[in-house]
Amino acid sequence: MSLPDAIDLSHHLSQSSRKRGVSPLKGLQKYYGKPGLISLAGGLPSPEYFPFNVVSSEVLPKDHFPLKSSDKTTGLTWLRRILGFRNRGSTVAIPKYPKVQGDISLSTDLQYSLARGSPQLEGFTYNFSARVHKPAYKNFATMIDIGNTDGWFKAVTILCEPGQGILTSEWAYTTAIATIRPYGIEPVSVAMDGQGMRDDALRSVLSTWDEIERGMPRPHVLYIVPIGQNPTGVTMGLERKKAIYDVCVEFDVIIVEDDPYYFLQEGEYLPPQERSRKQEDHDDNDVEHFLSQLAPSFLRVDYQGRVIRLDSFSKTFAPGSRLGWCTCNPLFAERIERQSEISTQAPCGFSQSIIASLLLNWKFDGYIRWLRGVREQYTHRRDFFVDCLAERFDLIPSTSTEGIWSGSKVYIAYRTCNSPSNVKSTKLSSESQPLFSFVPPTSGMFTWLQMHFEHHPLFPSHGSKALETKLWIALAEAGLLIGPGSMFASEGKVQLRSDVGHFRISFSNAELVDLEKAVDIFASVLQTFHEA
């Protein structure tokens, strides 16, 4: 079946983006391919004067992390550090002048170069998006950017005007909101459930939009982190994406899919005793099987080209690479490229040459193998962190029917009785009050806790927001810094339920021993807090 081309979405472009012409120097480029052409047009320094003869990096092997992690593997961080240099890694080296023309070189990558990224990196990401995300239209393009924050800023710049609104989940990534607000672009909150944004809620917001009452036109852009959502950790499946997409077609909305945690799809949390039952991973080489297990991108249902997908190397290689890419229709890609030319210019050449060399060396299958290893590491971290909570609290499973965890298996945490083991029984729980509840995330880096304040002695006088802050300060004073939930309320106001507070806890970065210590601090501060 042949796929359609993207439809014409040019009416979504902002005033400034429409006015942004092809840079005058670009007009000269039709001559660039001419054999033997001498160009004295650009203000380029001579690569002779780049002081770098070679840049190289000793890199870990693609299968450095096992596909089935044991506690030992990840626990022995200090040992790995010491032995780090003895790993059977390899070296990627980029010379100033390549032996073979067209090979990655410093004379090219450290020179002024294309805003859309190096040809090698653009080629790799194009192929990657095609094979992994499989857009439902034909003429998509990929453009290297300098990370998803940059990608989001540029998407807003080419699409939005001051005085407009952008649809977001009710809980949303603070930096994404901080990007738009100063320009007079307001987040418009849409209710969530256990899969993230609800399509019925989205339809309701759009179909009942009253321009006068809301003080702005009906939003035409939607921002979403669909996998391991920041801050709630929830993940959206294909059916929900299809439903959201259909609403966006109906109301002519552009979707910006910010998906940095795509490859951290850790799967369902199982308590330790059940974990051995977990199905063994397939054959190491079965790339297609691995990809088929992942919740697909919005691109998979994007038959009109109305999705701008943001992928990043920040979570899979390193944030300091400042490299990511967007996949979108060719019109938007071209406008983003023009926007890059007058701001960020080309991505960093050191980064492009090192990352591209590594990827060309590993090839598609090798990079997938690396991603699977990294996913396994984060899965182990997620398991370890939830295990720690299960050790310090009594966790009673329950099924929620309302709010952001509607339809999910929720754990309600109670103060543990000093019994030798944290046996769960409904009898025990009924004797005390719930402290917090959460759904172990199936993707990403965050655990989102709903804190129960309704039985706190100060609740009637202070309310939940003040108690959240009070508890947050008590934790910080005791040596544990976590994200206060109110910070992530997309419209800046306290959400529906007034008897709860929230915290976002990241299990992605700390040493495991510190994760354990953190849960100890949390348990002890929480006890004192409720006794106060």
Q: How far is the CB of 351 from a copy of itself (least distance, A)?
A: 5
317: part of which helix (H) or strand (E)? none
Specify the residue, 3 or 318, whose C-beta has the smaller distance to a copy of itself.
318
Specify the residue, 69 or 400, whose C-beta has the smaller distance to a copy of itself.
69
Specify the residue, 272 or 492, whose C-beta has the smaller distance to a copy of itself.
492
Q: How far is the CB of 61 from a copy of itself (least distance, A)?
A: 9
Q: Give the residues across from 437 on adjacent strands.
A: 412, 450
Specify the residue, 314 or 422, whose C-beta has the smaller distance to a copy of itself.
314
The span from the CA of 429 to the CA of 412, in Å, is: 9
Q: How far is the CB of 386 from a copy of itself (least distance, A)?
A: 13
Specify the residue, 269 or 370, whose C-beta has the smaller distance to a copy of itself.
370
Between the two ends of the chain, the Cα-to-Cα distance in Å is: 66
DSSP 334: H
Specify the residue, 45 or 457, whose C-beta has the smaller distance to a copy of itself.
45
Q: How far is CA 411 from the centre of its chain?
A: 24
Specify the residue, 100 or 178, whose C-beta has the smaller distance to a copy of itself.
178
The span from the CA of 8 to the CA of 366, in Å, is: 37
Residue with tokens 């079965």: 286
Q: How far is the CB of 425 from a copy of itself (least distance, A)?
A: 30
The span from the CA of 66 to the CA of 371, in Å, is: 11
Specify the residue, 260 or 305, whose C-beta has the smaller distance to a copy of itself.
260
Q: How far is the CB of 214 from a copy of itself (least distance, A)?
A: 20
Residue in 431, 390, 445 with CA at minimum distance from that of residue 412: 390
Q: How far is the CB of 493 from a copy of itself (least distance, A)?
A: 14
Residue in 240, 237, 241, 300 with CA at minimum distance from that of residue 265: 237
Q: How far is the CB of 317 from a copy of itself (least distance, A)?
A: 6
Residue 468 C-beta-side C-alpha neighbours within 13 Å: 23
Asked whether 521 and 478 are in contact (CB, 8 A), the reply is: yes
Specify the residue, 294 or 482, whose C-beta has the smaller distance to a copy of itself.
482
Specify the residue, 29 or 528, whose C-beta has the smaller distance to a copy of itself.
29
Q: DSSP letters of 118-184?
A: -HHHHHHHHHHIIIII--SSS--EEEEES-HHHHHHHHHHHH--TT-EEEEESB--HHHHHHHGGGT
Residue in 400, 369, 357, 211 with CA at minimum distance from that of residue 283: 369
Q: How far is the CB of 325 from a copy of itself (least distance, A)?
A: 15
Asked whether 67 and 37 are in contact (CB, 8 A), the reply is: no
The span from the CA of 115 to the CA of 345, in Å, is: 5
Specify the residue, 114 or 428, whose C-beta has the smaller distance to a copy of itself.
114
Specify the residue, 302 or 341, whose C-beta has the smaller distance to a copy of itself.
341
Q: How far is the CB of 3 from a copy of itself (least distance, A)?
A: 33
Q: How far is the CB of 414 from a copy of itself (least distance, A)?
A: 22
Q: How far is the CB of 137 from a copy of itself (least distance, A)?
A: 28
- Peptide bond before residue 231 is cis, with ω within 30 degrees of 0: yes
Count of C-beta atoms within a 10 Å radius of residue 97: 13
Specify the residue, 62 or 300, whose C-beta has the smaller distance to a copy of itself.
62
Buried b (16+ CB within 10 A) or exposed e, 157-176: bbbbeeebbbbbbbbbbbeb
Count of C-beta atoms within a 10 Å radius of residue 419: 10
Q: How far is the CB of 226 from a copy of itself (least distance, A)?
A: 16
* Sheet of 483-484, strands arranged across: 393-399, 409-415, 434-438, 446-452, 500-506, 483-484
Burial of 382 (0-12, 13-18, 19+ CB in 10 A): buried
Q: How far is the CB of 450 from a copy of itself (least distance, A)?
A: 17
